[in-house]
Amino acid sequence: MELCWNITSRCNKNCKYCFKFNKSDLSLEENKKILHNLIKRNVTKITWSGGEPFLYKDLKELLKISKEHNILNYVITNTTLLDENIIKENIEYIDRLVVSLDFIDDSLNAKYEIGENYFKHLKEVLKMVKRIKPSIEIKVNTVVFKGNLKFLEDLYQELLNYDIDFWKLIRFFPIRGKSLQENRLGVTDEEFQDVIDQFCHRHQKFDIVIHNLEEMKKRHIIVLSSGELIYSEGGADIESGEKLL
């Protein structure tokens, strides 16, 4: 079983089209119980996300236990809290770092409330992470929406300069949270198909992964920061009625 664990709903950013959950955090002891529960269920991969997972101060403890049980740890981060020390402390337990990047132009990152120096910092993190642990996989997640359609070529060209493994293009879909108020940012089927045609057939240094509405329809298992287990399926959140604590 593979799942995504929103270890915290807190975030140090306030992106315009965010679709994070809003739940309270649990203590380390409570989350250890959940993790042992998942280990008993033979979980093989956990994608740690948030909010911003590095805001959860005991993330490293959980990553370590997970790794000791041979679980693959993927971590999705906005990178803004990462510096050399934090990377060194956590990286041995991380198999894949997934970074969110929708623009390389920091004036646009500011416009969409992602952050004024967002890319300036993120590109340093990309280099640092591979220098410290060359075997780590890096994936860049890009949400494709009306605001960045015409800048994706620049983003692609810039990414060629970094040692990344995957670039994932995610079609914007307002599923929850602030994103529900930004429906107008969604792209049409034709626009998203144009993006696929634009990038998928190139000879790349990295693999391109497409997350379209078909992907969205599949069942994804999510553990919320409160310990509830839910399914995200067909663009909707479905309660399982199960609490892992």
Site residues for ligand SF4 per CB under 6 A: 11, 13-15, 18, 20, 50-52, 78, 100
Nearer to ligand SF4, 13 or 96 (CB): 13
Q: How far is the CB of 8 from ligand SF4 (least distance, A)?
A: 10
Q: How far is the CB of 208 from ligand SF4 (least distance, A)?
A: 21
Q: How far is the CB of 71 from ligand SF4 (least distance, A)?
A: 23
CB contact burial 92-101 (16+ within 10 A = b; e otherwise): ebbbbbbbbb
- The closest alpha carbon to 6, from 212, 244, 226, belongs to 226
Q: How far is the CB of 13 from ligand SF4 (least distance, A)?
A: 4
Cα–Cα distance for residue pair 26/167, rounded to 1 Å:
32
For residue 146 the two structure tokens come to 């009306």
Nearer to ligand SF4, 26 or 143 (CB): 143
Nearer to ligand SF4, 15 or 62 (CB): 15
Q: How far is the CB of 223 from ligand SF4 (least distance, A)?
A: 16
Nearer to ligand SF4, 105 or 194 (CB): 105
Nearer to ligand SF4, 68 or 116 (CB): 116
Could you tell me whether strands 72-77 and 45-49 are parallel, antiparallel, or unpaired per DSSP bridges? parallel
Query: Strand (E) positions, 33-184?
Result: 45-49, 72-77, 96-100, 137-144, 166-171
For residue 76 the two structure tokens come to 């999705």
